[in-house]
Structure 1
Amino acid sequence: MTETVVSMSTARPDTAAPPPVPTAGKAAPGRLRALDGLRLVAALMVAAYHYGGRGGYVTDAWGSSPKHQFPTLHTLFSYGCLGVQVFFVISGFVICMSGWGRTLTSFLASRVSRLMPAYWVAVVLVTAVFALPVVTYDAVSPSDALVNLTMLQQPLGADRVLGVCWTLWVELRFYALFALFVVMPGANRRRVLLFCGGWLLASVLARAAHEPLLDLVLMPEYAPFFIGGIGLYLVHRDRRDTHAWAVTVVSFLIGQHYAVGELWNASDPDAFAHRTTFGIVLVVALGFAAVAAIALGWLSRADWRWLTVAGALTYPFYLVHEHLGWVVIHALHRSLHVPSAPTFALTLAAMLLLAWLLHRYVERTLTPVLRTQLSKQR
């Protein structure tokens, strides 16, 4: 689904800000800690895919195909790539929530300060590790590594340091559309519904037109997931909102169609694992259902403080887990001869520890400073 210094797929989400205080018929206020937990679940799905649910470069890390390392679980792990679609649903929910009532300057400052500090450090860290003589993967050129710091390497055609950055490019385009059509004129229910309906219809027409520029801007294969998340945020504000439910249901129906079209590989005899259409639709449905349960307040009892920590670790974990995880797998499994299952678990633990360090010493230090500077009116 993507590549970078090497090749890959993944996705990334966003922070959950508290929703507005609701009125009658609306969900209870407070931080949605269950959403933080769901974000980490989606990230772990993607990690399972990268470590045991695909072929390619991860085969070099294990020394043989993950099919042989996980003969029972490798097909299940192959569905982990759908964590990306779940992330996009969460992102639609959270971006609508965090952009509601904000000025354009405040919205953009919050997005840039949220994304960039950990991203910059991850790019530098992965580039440095891949440049080590003992690491068998090739680093990108110095010029391409510098371009990666802009997060615009994909449209510029540069090699990617982080395999997951393709989803960040998708997210950036979503932010731009939402900022232009919702945040800048001022978010309200009617405007958000018009944005959802207009984007969904335009994305379908873009796919029918086979026009690359329209595909680039409107992202037909990913738009339904963002739009579905936005619809569920409107449901969170008022669970009796029929129009919001309609947006969500139509988005699911179209989104699962794109997911099946992209990921169903029954006709490929050389596929790493054969996903079924039922399995793909089921995972997408469960992703929508989980966010819907959170929107409706059904998971409000899941209010444990550790879920906030889990949510905070998700983005840095997402950034570093893929390629650095392969390095750890190689060291543990091939150099130290640790069995497959403990290697898998220890690699996840190591990447979560690294994510905590990035959150503690990079995000918590730089994000507030960057947000303050960018929020200043000029």
Structure 2
Amino acid sequence: MTSTPQTTQPPPRKHLLDVLRFGAAFAVVVYHFTATPTASQYWGTEVSTLFEGLNQVSRYGWLAVEAFFVISGFAILWSSQGRTPAQFTGSRAGRLYPGLWACVLATAVLQTFWSGGRELSLRDTLLNLTMAPDVFGAELSQVVYWTLLVELKFYVLVGVLMLFGALTRVRALTLALAWPAAGMLVQGFGYPEVAEHLVVRHSVYFGIGMVLFLLWQDVTAHRDQTVPDGVARRALLVDLGALALLLGLSVDRVTTSAHQASGLQGVPVHGGVAVAVLLAVVGAVWLAVQPWATLHNRHLAALCVLAGALTYPLYLVHTQFGWAVTELLSSNGYGTWTALTAATAVSMLLAAAIYYAVERPFATRLRRAVTSALTPDLARRPLTPRVPDDSVHHGRDAIAQVQQSRVAA
């Protein structure tokens, strides 16, 4: 990473990273529908019995959230390159808030017709629109929204660092290592509440993603011979050392989380299997950003980009609507697999509707408005070219990507 913003053309989009993100979101959907105690309430029976075979796998679906954090660490560090703090803030606001607002309001409408879901007050509903209802003690509109505040804290840390200059290699590596270390120190000194605010349980995953980005960047520089060989080798050794340290910490985190998941679900969730899944995720992220991971078939590329675009709204909207469909159909005698298929299909259709009706037309407008508000002289300054914006729950406009693919083809 250089000490000044990059001015080169954006690198090719990593289509397999889009696929990986969508796969993680789909894993969360299946987990919530077939493995959680809440799902058992709507099915009317224990999901571990109802989905005996599928549950053996879906009980590990909570690891998809850790996968999101790893991908986010990689993608946010990537997307910050060549951006000013105002542009970075605008990109995050434009990508996150339109979809969130639509999901919160849609869920509020659902709650007026369905008594089985979370019945939020008007105050709590409005506070969910902030993306940080936890801060105000409000009930979450949908269960997955707790992760949004975790992501938001990461964005704030990155944004604060950008205020002091470009996000250089040293600053990025410091954030990746110091954030988990600070949380552990605070926890060790007997301040678990403060450690929770520092998201000590999840910061290590963002760190892994950031170090993967540095490693990817340094491997690329070494392959392209854009830096002296000795410098490249030292950088790679530092990257690998930092990655090994963070992976070691993550093993402890995942093992502890697996034990907690066993208690939550009431079924065995093996720590060794959870660790293997996490390591597979890290390996998959690395493979997804290799040069061959960019698809040149425009139709396949467009499909991957669309999958990436649907990831965020699918993640946000699926629980309450999916459980409503589950309860409606299962209580009226429909088969288990019919109800599960319908709940998943409704979640996908709602995600598509939110993307096409809300995110696509309003995300760019909000991004520009926020960037302009934070940069009054924006009209007089040239914008810096940016790299693709492929964060955990986030991606660039799918139509723009399809058009770019067609032009390239």
Name the TM tier (shorter chain).
Answer: 0.7 to 0.9
CA contact (8 A) 1:144 1:158 kept: yes
Return the alpha-carbon distance in structure 1 between the equivalents of residues 321 and 310 of structure 2: 16
Q: Are 1:288 and 2:270 matched, yes or no?
A: no
More helix by share: 2
Return the alpha-carbon distance in structure 2 between the equivalents of residues 110 and 356 of structure 1: 21
Shift in Å, 1:137 = 2.4
Return the alpha-carbon distance in structure 2 between the equivalents of residues 202 and 138 of structure 1: 35
Task: Return the match for 1:341 from 306, 329, 337.
Answer: 337
CA contact (8 A) 1:265 1:274 kept: no
In the alignment, structure 1 segments of 5+ residues that lack a partner are 1-18, 23-27
Task: Return the match for 1:238 from 205, 218, 221.
Answer: 218
Give the aligned partner of residue 170 of structure 1.
Answer: 150
After alignment, is 209-218 or 253-262 more displaced?
Answer: 209-218
In structure 1, give the amino acid aligned to 2:54.
L
Shift in Å, 1:21 = 5.5
After alignment, is 136-145 or 240-249 more displaced?
Answer: 240-249
Q: Size of the alignment, in residue pairs?
A: 351
Shift in Å, 1:141 = 1.2
Return the alpha-carbon distance in structure 2 between the equivalents of residues 272 and 298 of structure 1: 42
Q: Are 1:367 and 2:371 matched, yes or no?
A: no
Return the alpha-carbon distance in structure 1 between the equivalents of residues 208 and 338 of structure 2: 37
CA contact (8 A) 2:186 2:194 kept: yes
Larger radius of gyration: 2
Return the alpha-carbon distance in structure 2 between the equivalents of residues 48 and 105 of structure 1: 37
Q: Are 1:89 and 2:70 matched, yes or no?
A: yes
Give the aligned partner of residue 326 of structure 2.
Answer: 329
Larger RCO, structures 1/2 (Cα 8 Å, 6+ apart): 2
Return the alpha-carbon distance in structure 2 between the equivalents of residues 265 and 371 of structure 1: 39
Return the alpha-carbon distance in structure 2 between the equivalents of residues 215 and 69 of structure 1: 38
CA contact (8 A) 1:75 1:274 kept: no
Query: After superposition, where does 1:108-127 map in structure 2 within 5 Å?
Result: 108-127=89-108
Return the alpha-carbon distance in structure 1 between the equivalents of residues 262 and 314 of structure 2: 34
Return the alpha-carbon distance in structure 2 between the equivalents of residues 161 and 274 of structure 1: 29
SS at 2:86 equivalent: helix
In structure 2, give the amino acid aligned to 1:320.
V
Return the alpha-carbon distance in structure 2 between the equivalents of residues 161 and 279 of structure 1: 31
CA contact (8 A) 1:266 1:276 kept: no
Task: Return the match for 1:48 from 30, 41, 53.
Answer: 30
Task: Return the match for 1:250 from 214, 221, 245.
Answer: 245
SS at 1:304 equivalent: helix
In structure 1, give the amino acid aligned to 2:237.
T
In structure 1, give the amino acid aligned to 2:254.
A
Task: Return the match for 1:195 from 168, 171, 175.
Answer: 175
SS at 1:164 equivalent: helix
In structure 2, give the amino acid aligned to 1:364.
R
Give the aligned partner of residue 319 of structure 1.
Answer: 316
CA offset digits 1:141-196 (Å, max 9, x no partner) = 11111111112210211111121110001001111111112464211222212222
Return the alpha-carbon distance in structure 2 between the equivalents of residues 305 and 40 of structure 1: 14
Summarize the Cα distance change of 1:166–1:138 in structure 2 as closer, same or farther, 3 Å threshold: closer
Q: Are 1:38 and 2:32 matched, yes or no?
A: no
CA contact (8 A) 1:100 1:188 kept: no
Shift in Å, 1:42 = 0.6
What RMSD in Å do the two structures reach over aligned CA positions? 2.2
Q: Are 1:299 and 2:293 matched, yes or no?
A: yes
CA offset digits 1:233-256 (Å, max 9, x no partner) = 112212262222222222222112
Give the aligned partner of residue 263 of structure 1.
Answer: 258
Task: Return the match for 2:80 from 99, 102, 108.
Answer: 99
Return the alpha-carbon distance in structure 2 between the equivalents of residues 116 and 31 of structure 1: 23
Return the alpha-carbon distance in structure 2 between the equivalents of residues 267 and 233 of structure 1: 33
Shift in Å, 1:204 = 2.7
- Percent identity between the two aligned chains: 29
In structure 2, give the amino acid aligned to 1:181.
L
In the alignment, structure 2 segments of 5+ residues that lack a partner are 1-5, 223-235, 377-409
Shift in Å, 1:115 = 0.6
Return the alpha-carbon distance in structure 2 between the equivalents of residues 348 and 189 of structure 1: 41
Return the alpha-carbon distance in structure 1 between the equivalents of residues 245 and 286 of structure 2: 14
Q: Are 1:208 and 2:149 matched, yes or no?
A: no
Q: TM-score, normalised by structure 1?
A: 0.87
In structure 2, give the amino acid aligned to 1:349.
A
Q: Are 1:154 and 2:134 matched, yes or no?
A: yes
Summarize the Cα distance change of 1:183–1:318 in structure 2 as closer, same or farther, 3 Å threshold: farther
Return the alpha-carbon distance in structure 2 between the equivalents of residues 185 and 138 of structure 1: 44
In structure 2, give the amino acid aligned to 1:257.
D
Q: TM-score, normalised by structure 2?
A: 0.81
Summarize the Cα distance change of 1:355–1:225 in structure 2 as closer, same or farther, 3 Å threshold: same
Shift in Å, 1:267 = 7.8
In structure 2, give the amino acid aligned to 1:42.
A
Summarize the Cα distance change of 1:129–1:116 in structure 2 as closer, same or farther, 3 Å threshold: same
In structure 2, give the amino acid aligned to 1:121.
A
Return the alpha-carbon distance in structure 1 between the equivalents of residues 295 and 237 of structure 2: 26
Give the aligned partner of residue 14 of structure 1.
Answer: none
Q: Are 1:225 and 2:221 matched, yes or no?
A: no
Summarize the Cα distance change of 1:249–1:305 in structure 2 as closer, same or farther, 3 Å threshold: farther
In structure 2, give the amino acid aligned to 1:233.
F
Return the alpha-carbon distance in structure 2 between the equivalents of residues 217 and 179 of structure 1: 18
Summarize the Cα distance change of 1:150–1:285 in structure 2 as closer, same or farther, 3 Å threshold: same
